[in-house]
A and B are shown apart, each in its own frame.
Chain A
Amino acid sequence: MAPRTLLLTLANLLLPVAILVFATGFFPYKPFMPGLAEYEELGWEDRMGWEKGSGKESLPEAPFERLVFMVVDALRSDFVYGEGSGMAFVQSLIRDGTALPFTAHATSPTITMPRVKAMTTGSIPSFLDVILNFAESDTTSTLATQDTWLAQIKAKEGGKLVMYGDDTWLKLFPDFFVRADGTSSFFVSDFTEVDHNVTRHVPRELGEKDWNAMVLHYLGLDHIGHKAGPKSPNMVPKQKEMDEIVRQIYTAIESQDHLANTLFVLCGDHGMNEGGNHGGSAPGETSPALVFMSPKLKKVTQFTDRTSPIKPGGGEFEYYRMVEQSDIAPTLAGLLGFPVPRNNLGVFIEEMLGFWDDGRDRIQLLLRNARQMKRIVDATYPSLNFDDGVKDIEKECSSPKSDGQMLVCKWQDVVQIMSTIATIHPKLRIDRLYWFLRAAQETMSSTASNYDVPRLILGTSLALLSAVLTFFTLPAFRPISPQGIAYALILILYSILMFASSYVEEEHNFWYWATSAWFFYLFISSSRKEWYRKFILHPAIMLGILHRVIRRWNQTGQKFAGADDIVHSQLFHGSNSIVLWSLVGATYLDLTVRLSRHVARSIATFEGHSGVSFTEESDANRVMGMAAVLPLGATAFVFKLAFTAKDAPELTRGISVGLIQWVEGLSLVGIARMVFGGLLLSAFWIGVAEWKRTKGKKGESNGDFAVTLFDLTSLFLITQTRAQNIPLFLLFRLQFFFLSLLHLPPTSITTTTLLLSQTAFFALGNSNAISSIDLSNSYNGISSYNVLAVGLLVFLSNWAGPIYFSLAGVLLLGAHGQSRRNIALDEVDSRDWVQKEREHLEQLAMREDEGRVRRVEGDVWRAHVVLLTLWTAVGLGSVMAACTVLRSHLFVWSVFSPKFLFAGAWGVLWYFGGVVGGGGLLWGVGRW
């Protein structure tokens, strides 16, 4: 016994270590070059006729002095350029040639913070920024110490910045702005206010002469996308609103002297997919628009494509020329006249070279860009030689062995063409410089995620070692049981599926598919013992029907994103929302009634009842229990209604206006705290009562306290769930009820726990995509930002279903709280004609006692933990192995790395928090 426990403990401890080791190898911390870039010596001054010195002497004259940088969140390319676009003014500028349009490729992860980093520093942010995006206040993620075009503008003489819009900018650039007003995207139902708070500052700022750069970041369009997708009826009006702001700013630039030298940039930070979400690397998500506007641009747009609106070229969202989002930084540097930021991997946009008539100026701009990028290349390949000497390298460059070698050759090309006679056509030099710049950009962007392969392998091995250790603690295999085979099949199939990107994206289908078959197996298995006359009402069939409804609740995954589901159907929207709220109310009522019984029992304990009828609470106690619990249930319900009225007003249209007005006046933080406090108080009160009873040994327990804690946790989980998903918990409850009727053997219960935990996760609308993480319940009861509290609430609101079933599984295992009839077998008549009846009673008695025996012995609990440890270890191991093997796969950042993050959350937070921690607590108090 002891060595087994030791092995199991070791296996458990290995899991977090494995995750940590793997994560450090998979998301390496990228060092960045600190300090601001300065103009440096160029080289080849004599040949090009540039003045020698610090490099500042013969700078090309910058065509612009001021910058308006307008970001419209999730402004996908077709929202500006397409035929259905509402941005007619921008399109007219494109036709006039005073606007230069591009599609700016945004790399995954396509969420705001990493995208802002890319646009301002010119670098490719690592995946780690996703996590930092959620841990918003983390100071290591600010750009205060990094080189950006904002820092460069600020460093200029008298450089002043102003910013209005998304407060991400304020977090990234603390103390950068002389005037600022941040808006937060907390309630995505806010389509107008959030933008109005930006627009109202614009006219005043256009009159000001002191700022050098004004940043505007509009969130409304992104909110519409999240709420109703790109085809929402609100989308075109919002585009028209944005177009109107563009007109306002552009007209000011055109007509007012102090704005004459202003460059106006309109861009999206990322796009959106057909479901209106973003975070991955679907074409829609990675293709935001990028438009440069100024009357001066006529000089460079003579030969560019001025058609507008236009049809996309190569890809579905590829309009005009495709540039990288990081190209914005060096282009702004050239156009406004400051050094290219140090960590930039962008390339100066070629069309803009037209501002300089002298070929030498053009070459100088590109050479500065190339010199800056060569520093990064130098630092990445310290062993290679990137100096300015002309060498004979034809031999090694005919087929370069490595990316680094290839860059050496490209640089040598630059060196050679720069060193030849001065009179060759500038175009030749420019071409060579672009070859080097583009090659360096491509290579460095991919090495932006260079892995620490030994760590990847070590992490994977540790997870697999944990699986092997757990394997040896498994209870005896023989006799081979079908539920054992089912468990093993799930394990094996899952490990294989993790290597296929489609199945990672569509993981929910695997669990739905397996669970249907599992319930069918339960039906067959129980039919072998006895036949239900009305087999349609067999518990396993009922489970199957419930499962069918549950899987339809939320459409999730990539392939069928946006397909019909129950949540988005007309059933719950508009005036029908009364249906939703009746179901939500039923869920709350069911829990309240359950809790009232627990309280009634505790009152009975305090009154000192004893004897056989101990658990039969009196009516008076029930009334008191209800009176005590009703305020808690009602408060929780009102909180949900008030929250939804703000977060998703379309779901509360059917509720009476008076009620909504009343709840909208309430303080959300205050009521959430009341609910949480009430839950803790109830747990404490009933806990004391149960403890007292155990101490006094008055009456035998049925593991009731475990049930109490389960019901209290359910109420908490519901508080952390979006209103439209709350009825799911009523269905979960029904599944739990039917499962308890089936009297499953322990291994079957563990398998069911696993299947339903996973099913519940996906049924609540989650998937393995970062974009599906629901943040709406992350601030319940919290008034200011706190990493731990917000992180915990995010986890609990997204994993509410899995936690529910990990705890329900424990209650099934120990049959907690199920009444026993104390059948005295000795007294049963043993005559032949009642033999059958006797057998039946024996069976009943055995079953009802089984739970108690299981609870006392505890072997079953151990086996449950062992099986779920094995599951976690194998699951993690296969995800890590898939990430290691497929690390250069096209989808590694959009599919496999998010999957690893999710697997880590399952492995650490769900497994340790839900299964071992929460489950262990229930199991422990169940023995009181």
Chain B
Amino acid sequence: MTTVINSHPKPRAPANPIDILNNDAAKLYTHLHPALVLSLYAYQFRSIVADPVPALTSALVPLSILQIAYVATCLPPTGNSGSSTLQQEKRKPGEKKKPVPGKVEVGINVKIIPAFLSLLLSLLVATPLLTATLVLFGAPITTHHTHTLLCGAHIALLSTLPLVYVHGVDGETWREIVAMLLPIDEVYGGLIGTVVGAWVGAVPIPLDWDREWQKWPVTIVTGAYIGFVVGKLVGGTLLRGKKIMFE
């Protein structure tokens, strides 16, 4: 079989929960962000129910902007992603000390570019994977392809974009993410919340209420949004630093 006994002889340093950046803007926006995301969704809810495909497509744009703003303002970018110049920059661990070059330029290099890379990765890699997972969990396979794909894209933007931004694309870290071995923080909590929320979102579909919003994939996306906010809140406060224990 394809079991790998253990290809990493050296034990990795235990991962720490992600801290949000230590500045006022970050502290303020991290609380503002969930409210903005939810209000954005609530604002578009009617049009999503009316005609999911165009509404969900156009909703991706403001969601991307909000998520990019969130990661760029609040989260530390990954240590080993992006270009080598970035790595040189990051080699100095001093938190506040910034080198001389223009502030805006640095901001773009250090934050905006990784944020856009995260967006790209979420859309190109995470979306197909999540869409496949949705199908595995029972999404329609012969019809509603665009619906499911858009649902996957929303889940990807909510859950994986911040994770890619803070953890990069290191395979081992992602294995730990999948195996739920990382300590909980607001970013990881957001992922778990989004996924669980999307799963719970399937619950109202079989009810005989004959409501328009029961149609695919409205409840799933709604569950994902609510799950994201709850997971981010709980992960950033109550459960912060806790590890998920199995067995």
Contact = CB atoms under 8 A, between A and B. Distances in A.
State whether these chains interact: yes
Interface of A: 479, 481-482, 500-503, 505-506, 509, 512-513, 516-517, 520, 524-525, 527-528, 530-535, 537, 541, 544-545, 548, 551-552, 557-559, 564, 741, 836-837, 839-840
Contacts of B247: 479, 481-482, 525
A839 B6 CA distance: 11
Give the bracket for the number of chain B residues in contact with chain A.
20 to 34
A474 B229 CA distance: 38
B138 A528 contact: no
Given A482-B247, A548-B135, A551-B138, A528 B180 contact: yes
A527 B203 CA distance: 27
A506 B206 contact: yes
B136 A545 contact: yes
A513 B3 contact: no
B138 A533 contact: no
Interface of B: 1-6, 135-138, 141-142, 175, 178-181, 199, 202-203, 205-209, 246-247
B206 to A, nearest CB: 4
Contacts of A503: 206-207
A866 to B, nearest CB: 21
A527 B246 CA distance: 11
Contacts of A552: 141
Given A516-B137, A537-B2, A500 B181 contact: no
Q: Which has the most chain A C-beta neighbours within 10 Å: B1, B4, B135, B138?
A: B138
B5 A840 contact: yes
B206 A533 contact: no
A171 to B, nearest CB: 36
A559 B6 contact: no
Q: SS class of chain A's interface: helix, strand, loop or mixed?
A: helix
A530 B2 contact: no
A621 B5 CA distance: 38
Contact of B208 (A502, A517, A525): A502
19 contacts: A479-B247, A501-B208, A502-B206, A502-B207, A513-B137, A516-B136, A516-B137, A516-B138, A517-B137, A520-B137, A525-B246, A530-B3, A533-B4, A544-B136, A557-B206, A558-B208, A559-B208, A836-B5, A837-B5
Given A505-B206, A836-B5, 16 more contacts: A501-B208, A502-B209, A509-B205, A516-B136, A524-B179, A524-B180, A525-B247, A527-B175, A527-B178, A548-B135, A548-B136, A552-B141, A559-B206, A564-B142, A741-B1, A837-B5
Nearest to A513: B202
A528 B179 contact: yes
Given A482-B247, A509-B205, A532 B138 contact: no
Tell me whether chain B's interface is mostly helix, strand or loop, or mixed: loop
Contacts of A509: 202, 205-206
A509 B142 CA distance: 18
Nearest to A509: B206
Contacts of A501: 208
A532 B179 contact: no
A532 B178 CA distance: 12
B152 to A, nearest CB: 15
Contacts of A544: 136
Interface centre among B1, B179, B180, B181 (most CB of A within 10 A): B179
B138 A513 contact: yes
Contacts of B135: 548
Contacts of A517: 137, 199
A675 to B, nearest CB: 36
Nearest to B1: A741
Contact of B3 (A506, A528, A532, A548): A532
A516 B202 CA distance: 12
Contacts of B199: 513, 517
Contact of B6 (A500, A516, A836): A836
Contact of A512 (B1, B138, B207, B209): B138
A509 B208 CA distance: 13
B138 A548 contact: yes
Contacts of A479: 247
A251 B56 CA distance: 64
B220 to A, nearest CB: 12
Contacts of B180: 524, 528
Closest 7 CB pairs of A and B: A506-B206, A527-B179, A528-B179, A502-B208, A516-B137, A502-B207, A509-B206
Report which residue of A528, A534, A741 has the largest number of chain B beta carbons within 10 angstroms of its beta carbon. Answer: A528
A581 B156 CA distance: 42
Contacts of B138: 512-513, 516, 548, 551
